[in-house]
Amino acid sequence: MTVADFSRWSTQALGRVERALEQWVPADAPAGLGEAMRYGVLDGGKRLRALLVLAAAEAAGADKHTAGAEAAMRAAAAVELIHAYSLIHDDMPCMDNDVLRRGKPTVHVKYGEAQAMLAGDAMQALAFDVLTPDETPDGVDARLQARLCRLLARASGQAGMAGGQAIDLASVGKDLDEQTLRDMHHRKTGALLRCSVQMGAACGGLLPQSAAWQALSDFGDAIGLAFQIVDDVLDATQASDKLGKTAGKDADANKPTYVSLLGLDGARDESAQLLERARQALVRSGLGEAATAMLMALAERIVHRDH
Amino acid sequence: MTVADFSRWSTQALGRVERALEQWVPADAPAGLGEAMRYGVLDGGKRLRALLVLAAAEAAGADKHTAGAEAAMRAAAAVELIHAYSLIHDDMPCMDNDVLRRGKPTVHVKYGEAQAMLAGDAMQALAFDVLTPDETPDGVDARLQARLCRLLARASGQAGMAGGQAIDLASVGKDLDEQTLRDMHHRKTGALLRCSVQMGAACGGLLPQSAAWQALSDFGDAIGLAFQIVDDVLDATQASDKLGKTAGKDADANKPTYVSLLGLDGARDESAQLLERARQALVRSGLGEAATAMLMALAERIVHRDH
């Protein structure tokens, strides 16, 4: 696949994700809540998780199942809602106290802390709402709906993202060993990235017992870890205006990072190894090079991005 | 049914709910998160929502379905997790700034604001996790899992509880008309109480199209509204130590209440009328007086409680 092919695919996919979120995040939620929710999730971010869902769904053949493509778009929107809510809560004064996100004032700066907390809460509920549309004969199969909710709930909760944030919270100013740092990121960002790939796989009818599922999950693990390592490298080497958020914050807050643990070169080496592990996992999936080309292109983009 | 029968049933049901929550809310979640979650949800509250789920499930014959009783217990735990998370977030300084809940320090007072926010977030995810156990041949049917997630997500989000909280937030110090007050409570507390009844009905195999479902939903609406009216009456007439929370806060904060709108006698009259509407809805359900006796007893307890 050429760079142009990938670029065309991702531009088109991003457009569909934005339109889906536009449709599903209600403007008319009461008392300004809808406005705060839309501010927090629309028109922002790289939509990496959504693209992973859609690429994995295509790789697994979701378009061959009744409403498989619809299920994938719902899963893509749902994981972006979870990610966006976590950023809103993470930015609040009692957590990271960030005032800038994607180059814009954070939600609590714009709408106040109470509305920001509520908007995040409502976005988490909306994620599960989006995953469970009314039952219709040609709609998303109820069994698949349940599977998607199961995957997303486990990746978001105390065993996944929220648990990782708790470790992060407890780690400020402490000497974290490498194992704890890896565990933290495995939960905090890794769980949701892997879940994105798994949800896409589920939309294609793959079951957790299958070899293809296991391989795609390993792919998700590898890129999840690579994502965080590259994040730390960028945080250490790029300026805030390029990142669209405050750079160097973790180092300033004495938070351990992969760069502080492995050094810049060590961190870059490991991200290159993880890209190779991701490639091998796709080969092992048996889905074929053509079907998994978008996933591989996303993995490359994760490792080679500059913001 | 005698008072003793109801008392025996509710004592036994409460014990089962506590044991289920003990089992499902993990003590070993990382970095103190599990401890904060357990503090926020275990050993506390009247478990009204859980009892409504279980009573509605019994009324609808959940025990006649494969894993219907298990599904009902999962739904009961899930709705309590949602309720408990909403209290944790509602108590935080940026919202109601309450330091006392069920006679104990609130979660943010005990564990800090960041951990309290995370604990609430993780509890919302856990609710959907509990509703979607791994698929096994004799486990909770996947279609039912999806239905329960759908009901709970819609009742919790911007169209339900979170939306009601946003209206509440925007209403402090304002002259709210009766229609807006009713809309706020319909969402803020009513949606989850009605959802409890509906989830129980779903565990018994009732479908939203059926007359019995509609009647049980109307029952849920009536007791949801009655609950809030009685809450306002108690808030205006009882001391904090009996309520286990700070009394008179709404009036002090210039928040409108049913008592300030209807007067004490007017509020009491309406709660009596709602109890009668609830009774008629149960008759209309066609499930029979014996099957719905626990639901009726719960409705009476809601209206006649003194704390």
CB contact under 8 A, B166 and A33: yes
- B286 Cβ contact partners less than 8 Å away, ≥ 6 residues apart: B211, B212, B215
Mutant choice from B85, B135, B158 vs A, greatest count of A C-beta within 10 A? B158
Q: How far is CA B113 from the centre of its chain?
A: 24
- C-beta of residue A206 within 8 angstroms of C-beta of residue A212: yes
- Which of B39, B79, B90, B94 is the best residue to mutate to test the A interface, defined by the most A CB atoms within 10 Å of its own CB? B94
Determine the residue among B39, B92, B124, B176 to mutate to test chain A binding: the one whose Cβ has the most chain A Cβ atoms within 10 Å: B124
- The three-state secondary structure class of A98 is coil
pLDDT digit string (tens) for A153-191? Answer: 999 999 999 999 999 999 877 878 889 999 999 999 999
Helices (H), A92-177: 107-111, 113-130, 142-156, 161-171
Q: Where are the alpha helices (DSSP H) in chain A?
A: 3-24, 33-41, 48-59, 68-91, 107-111, 113-130, 142-156, 161-171, 178-185, 191-203, 211-237, 240-243, 249-252, 258-285, 293-304
From B57, B108, B109, select the one nearest B78 (Cα to Cα).
B57
Give the pLDDT score at B306. 84
Closest CA to B83 of B220, B211, B189: B189
With a cut of 90, say whether residue B307 has pLDDT above it: no
Give the distance from residue A297's alpha carbon to the nearest chain B alpha carbon, in angstroms. 31
The structure tokens listed for A294 are 């978008």
Q: Do the Cβ atoms of B167 and A31 come within 8 Å?
A: yes
- C-alpha B274/C-alpha B233 separation (Å) is 15
Query: What integer is the mean pLDDT of B103-127?
Result: 97
A75 CA to chain B: closest CA distance, Å? 14
Out of A32, A132, A170, the one facing B166 most closely (by C-beta) is A32
What is the per-residue pLDDT for B245?
60
Q: Could you tell me if A141 and A66 are in contact, meaning their C-beta atoms sit under 8 angstroms apart?
A: yes
Q: Is the pLDDT of residue B252 over 70?
A: no
Q: What's the rounded mean pLDDT across residues A8-17? A: 96
Mean pLDDT across A103-110: 95
pLDDT, tens digit, 9 for 90 and up, residues B60-72:
999 888 899 999 9
- CB atoms A147 and B142 under 8 Å: yes
Q: Which residues of B touch A77 (CB under 8 A)?
A: none
Give the list of residues 6+ apart from residue B300 with CB closer than 8 angstroms, or none.
B275
Q: A54 CA to chain B: closest CA distance, Å?
A: 22
Residue B177, pLDDT score: 86
Residue A259: both structure tokens together: 């760069």
Q: Among B124, B133, B170, select the one facing A125 at the smallest CB separation.
A: B124
pLDDT class of A43 with cuts at 50, 70, 90? confident
Residue A240: its pLDDT value, please? 60
pTM: 0.96
**Rounded CA gap, B206 and B229, in Å?**
29
Paired sense of beta strands B104-105 and A100-101, if any: unpaired
CB of A65 closer than 8 Å to CB of A6: no
| Residue A75 to residue B49: CA distance in whole angstroms | 29
Whether the pLDDT of residue B249 is over 70: the answer is: no
pLDDT band at A44 (very low <50, low <70, confident <90, very high): confident
Q: What is the dihedral of CA A84, A89, A90, A93, to 10 degrees?
A: 140
- Per-residue pLDDT at B29 exceeds 90: no
Residues of A in contact with B126 (CB under 8 A): 153, 157-158
CB within 8 Å: A31 and B114: no
* Higher local confidence (pLDDT), A77 or A44: A77
At A248, the pLDDT band (50, 70, 90 cuts) reads low
Q: How near does any CA of chain A get to the CA of B48, in Å?
A: 21
Least confident range of A92-106, A236-250, B278-292: A236-250
pLDDT score of B161: 98
Q: State the average pLDDT over residues A62-86.
A: 96
Which of A115, A128, A163 comes nearest B29 by C-beta?
A: A163
d(CA A243, CA A236): 11
Nearest to A35 by CA among A122, A101, A102: A122
Q: Token digits for B299?
A: 């409705």
Rounded to the nearest angstrom, the minimum Cα separation between B185 and chain A is 13
What does the block give as tokens for A301? 């983009």
Of residues A175 and B181, more confidence is placed in B181
pLDDT cut 90: percent of chain A above it: 80
Average model confidence (pLDDT) across chain A: 93
pLDDT digits (tens, 9 = 90+) for B199-242: 999 999 999 999 999 999 999 999 999 999 999 999 899 866 66
Residues of chain B contacting A89 with CB distance shorter than 8 Å: 117-118, 121
Instruction: Compute the nearest-CA separation of A139 from chain B (Å).
Output: 13
The mean predicted confidence, pLDDT, of chain B is: 93
| pLDDT confidence band for A208 (50 / 70 / 90) | very high
pLDDT band at B59 (very low <50, low <70, confident <90, very high): very high
Residue type, A87: L
- What domains sit in chain A, N to C, each tagged with a CATH number? 3-304 (1.10.600.10)
Q: What is the DSSP string of A6-26?
A: HHHHHHHHHHHHHHHHHHHS-
Q: How large is the angle between the packed helices B178-185 and B258-285, nearest 10 degrees?
A: 50
Residues counted in chain A: 307
Mean local confidence (pLDDT), B111-121: 98
This complex has an ipTM of 0.95
- Which of B25, B132, B172 is the best residue to mutate to test the A interface, defined by the most A CB atoms within 10 Å of its own CB? B132
Dihedral sign (CA A66, A72, A77, A81): positive
CB B56 within 8 A of CB B200: yes
Specify the 3-state DSSP secondary structure of B229: helix
Neighbours of A208 (CB within 10 A): 15
Report the residue from B112, B118, B167 with minimal CB separation from A162: B118
Q: Is the CB of A149 less than 8 angstroms away from the CB of B131?
A: yes
